[in-house]
Amino acid sequence: MTSVTPEIRQRVERLRQQLLKANYAYYVLDNPIMEDSVYDRLYRELQDLETQYPELIVPDSPTQRVGDRPASQFTSVRHNIPLYSLENAFSLEELAKWQERWQRVVPDIKQVEYVCELKIDGNALALTYENGVFVRGVTRGDGVTGEDITHNVRTIRSIPLRLHLETPPPIVEVRGEAFLPLDEFDRINQERAQAGEPLFANPRNAAAGTLRQLDPKIVDKRRLKFFAYTLHLPNHNTLKSQWEALEFLKEMGFAVNPNCKLCQSLKEVEEYFQYWETGRRTLPYMTDGIVVKINDFQLQEKLGFTQKFPRWAIALKYPAEEAPTIVKEIAVNVGRTGAVTPIAIMEPVHLAGTIVQKATLHNSDRIAQLDIRVGDTVIVRKAGEIIPEVVRVMHELRPPDSQPFQMPTHCPECGSQLVRLAGEAVTRCVNSSCPAILRASIVHWASRDALDIRGLGEKIVILLIENGSIESIADLYDLKPEQIASLERMGTKSAENLVNAIAQSKEQPWSRVLYGLGIRYVGSVTAKLLADNFPCVEQLSQASIAALESVYGIGAEIAESVYDWFKIPANQMLIRRLQAAGLQLASTSTSKGDRPRALAGKTFVITGTLPTLTRDEAKDLIEKAGGKVTGSVSAKTDYLVVGEKAGSKLEKAQQLGITQLTESQLLDILQKS
C-alpha cells in the first residue's frame, strides 16, 4: 500500500475545507460560491484520494454526509459570400465596450435599434437558391471555403426546397444554423449505447457528425432542424433592416427562431441576455449565448468589418463549462512573431468534450492578475468553447511553499534579451534568427491552410534546423533527398516523398503563399482579400497604407503590418528567393502576362464519369482558366461537360439548349487558354 505523504494529506485537508465551505454557502446561505461542475470535480478528487488512502477518511468529510450529492468525403467549394465569424463578449461590460467602439466609427449616431437572437449551438450552413429552388448547401468551413453537403441538407425538413414566393429573386443565399433537438440527441445516444457505439459528447458534435454522414438516409433519420438568421439578396435593395430580413425569411418558408427580439437600447439587450441566461434551460435545443446585431443595414454598411469580424454584430456568450485542475508547470512558448506566451501545463481534465492539459496564460499582465503559481488549483474553461484558458485560481487550496512565477528575461530558445514594446502587453524575442521563430514560421508555412506540405511536421522541422539544413523558408526548396534521409527515422522513400511534397507546394496559389509568409494579422481570409486586390507580390509590396486600407475588410492595423513587413530587407530577400524557386507570387491571370483567360465568365456543370479526369481535377482546370463550376444546370449554365452514365442534368441541359462538351473538347479549349 502506498504511504500517505505530507503533500497528499495537505491536499485532502484543503479539499475538505473548500467543499465544506461550498456546502454551507449553497445549502445554508443560498449563495453558491462555485459552479456545480467545479464542485463535482473537486468532490470526485477528494473521493478518489480517500478511496486510495482510507486512513484519511474522517466523519465530517463531505464524502461521508448522508444524502450528499452522488458521484467519405465531400467536395470543397468556395462560398459566394465569405462567412465572417463574430467577435465574442463574455460580460455586459464587454458588450458596452463594443457599443463604444462602433460609436467611435460613426460618432454622429448614438441611438440605434438592435436585433437580439439566441445563439443556437449547432453548425452554420450557407444555402443557395436559384430562381427559388434550393441548389446548394455548404458548411461554414474556414469562412471562405466549405464542404458541399447538399444531399444531406435536403433531408432537413425545416429547409424549404422551393421558396414560398410567387416571383423569387434569381439568386438568394440564406445563412443559418443546423442543430439537433435535445430529445433527438438523447434518442440517438440511447441507440448508440445499445449498439455499443461511443456516445456523442454534446448535441453540436452530434449535429456535425450527422451532417458529414455519407449516407443521406442516416441524416434523414436523425431529424436535424434549421433556423435561418441571415439573408443575402444581390442587387435587391427593398430590405432595410435585419428585422425586415427575418420577417422576409419567414415569408420564404424558413423557420426563424421565435425568441428573437427588436430592442430599442442596449439596456433592453442586457435584459434579454439576462432573461435567457436561465430561460434557455427550458428550450428544446442548446444555446450558448445571444447574437446582437445593429438593425439598420445602411449603418451596418458604414461600420463595415475589422480584419476578422463585422463591427455591427457581436456574440454575447454565457459562462462556458468550467472545471478545476492542478498546475504542474508554467512553461513559455515562442511563436513565429516572436511573442513569448506563458502556458499552464496541468493535470488532464475533461472539458467541453475534450481532454485539456494545457491552457494559455496570455502574457505577464494576466499572470500577475491571476497570481498563478505551480501547484495551484485553477478553474479552466474554453474561451468561446475553443481555446482553453485559466479563469481564476483557488488560492484557498494553494500549497504553502508555492513561489510566484516570473517571466523569463531572456529567450528560452536563443538566449536573446526579451523586450516588451510600449503599448503592448506581449513580451517578444526580436532576434529574427531565433530557432523558435524559424521553427514556428516553417511549421506555419507547411500547414494545411498555407502551402500544405504533407509530411513536414514540427519534429522534422526541428531536426532540419538542428543539423543546419534550413535557416529560412526558402531553404526548403534547396533540400536534397539525401539531406532528409540522413535524419532520424527517415528512410530514402520518405525523403523522396517529402522533397516531392515541397516541390508540389510551388503550385499553391498566391493567396496561400501570402498567408504562409506569416505576416502579423494576416490570416487566411485576409490573405485572400489582399491577393484578390493585389494580384502579384510587386503590387502588394509597393502599395501604400492608404491603398491597403481602401480594400473592404482591411483595417489600419493590418495595412500598417503588411506595409512594414515588405520594408524589411530580410523579407525582401526572402521574396526574391521564393520567386527564384518558382513559387506562385502572382494570381493565375497575371502570372501568364495578363492574358485573358479562355473560360472567364463561363459557367460549367459536370455530369457522369469522365474518361481520364476526376470531377475535382476537371473543376480545378476550369477554375484556373477563369471558369466557374456549379452543381446544377440552369439557364445561366454555359456548358455541360458530359461523361459516361450522365443523368438528369443532361436531360435538363438538352431542354434548355445548353452546349455539351466531351472531356477531349474541354481539354482542347483549355489548351488554347
Which of 119, 225, 382, 649 is the catalytic position? 119
- Alpha-carbon distance 18 to 26, whole Å? 12
Q: pLDDT class for 479, splitting at 50, 70, 90?
A: very high
In a domain, 159, yes or no: yes
Same domain, 143 and 289: yes
Which among 491, 506, 521 is the end of a domain? 506
**Is 187 a domain residue?**
yes
Q: Which residue has the higher pLDDT, 557 or 403?
A: 403
Could you say which of 506, 535, 555 is where a domain stops?
A: 506
* Residue 434, marked binder: yes
Does one domain contain both 449 and 522? no
- Residues 502 and 514 reside in one and the same domain: no
Percent of the chain at pLDDT > 70 equals 91
Q: Does 484 lie in the same domain as 381? A: no
Task: Say yes or no: 473 and 517 in one domain.
Answer: no
Please report which confidence band the pLDDT of residue 314 belongs to, taking 50, 70 and 90 as the band edges: very high
Give this prediction's pTM.
0.46
How far apart, in Å, are the Cα atoms of 515 and each of 344, 501, 525, 530, 578?
A: 29, 18, 9, 10, 14
pLDDT confidence tier of residue 590, bands split at 50, 70 and 90:
very low
* CATH number of the domain bearing residue 514: 1.10.150.20
Q: What is the pLDDT of residue 394?
A: 93
Instruction: Judge whether 72 lies within some domain.
Output: no
Q: Is 489 left (phi over 0), alpha (psi -120 to 50) or beta?
A: left
Per-residue pLDDT band for 274 (boundaries 50, 70, 90) equals very high
Q: Are 663 and 612 in contact (CB under 8 A)?
A: yes
260 is in an annotated binding site: no
Beta bridge partners of 287: 120
Confirm or deny that 548 is annotated as ligand binding: no
Residue 365 domain-assigned (yes or no): yes
**620 belongs to an annotated ligand binding site:** no
Q: What is the mean pLDDT of residues 248-273?
A: 93
- When pLDDT is cut at 50, 70 and 90, the band that residue 673 belongs to is low
pLDDT in tens, 518-552: 998 888 878 888 998 899 999 999 999 999 988 86
Same domain, 200 and 215: yes
CATH number at residue 270: 3.30.470.30
Query: Does 532 belong to an annotated binding site?
Result: no
Task: Give the CATH number of the domain where residue 29 resides.
Answer: 1.10.287.610
448 and 539 together in one domain? no
CATH assignment at residue 647: 3.40.50.10190
Give the mean model confidence (pLDDT) for residues 211-239. Answer: 85
Summarised one tens digit per residue, pLDDT across range 596-648 is 456 777 888 898 878 777 777 788 778 777 788 887 788 888 899 988 777 77
- Is 308 considered catalytic here? no
Looking up residue 400, the CATH number of its domain turns out to be 2.40.50.140
142 known ligand binder = no
For residues 102-112, average pLDDT? 87
Same structural domain, 109 and 131? yes
Domain total of the chain: 6
Grid cell of 234 as nine digits: 444581390
pLDDT band of 65, cuts 50, 70, 90: low
Which of 257-271, 584-598, 599-613 is the most confident on average? Answer: 257-271
User: Between the CA of residue 290 and those of 41, 84, 89, 315, what are the distances in Å?
Assistant: 28, 17, 10, 6
- Asked which of 506, 533, 549 is the last residue of a domain, the reply is 506
Residues 146 and 256 in one domain: yes
For range 259-264, the mean pLDDT: 95
Question: What was the pLDDT predicted at 30?
Answer: 44
Q: Is residue 64, in this structure, part of any structural domain at all?
A: no
- Tell me, yes or no, whether 243 lies in a domain: yes
Residue 445 vs residue 490, higher pLDDT:
445
Select the highest-mean-pLDDT range: 10-24, 256-270, 485-499, 649-663. Answer: 256-270
Mean confidence (pLDDT) of the chain:
85
| Full domain range(s) for residue 169 | 87-317
In a domain, residue 632? The reply is yes
Residues 249 and 261 in one domain: yes
Indicate the SS3 state at residue 378. strand
- Residue with the larger pLDDT of the pair 517 and 597: 517
In this structure, the answer to whether residues 644 and 629 fall within a common structural domain is yes
When pLDDT is averaged across residues 408-428 and rounded to a whole number, the result is 86
Residue 339 lies in a domain: yes
Pair (499, 521) in one structural domain: no
Long-range contacts of 441-448 (CB under 8 A, 24+ apart): 441/336, 441/473, 441/518, 442/470, 442/473, 442/476, 443/336, 444/336, 444/516, 444/518, 445/473, 445/476, 445/516, 445/517, 445/518, 446/505, 447/516
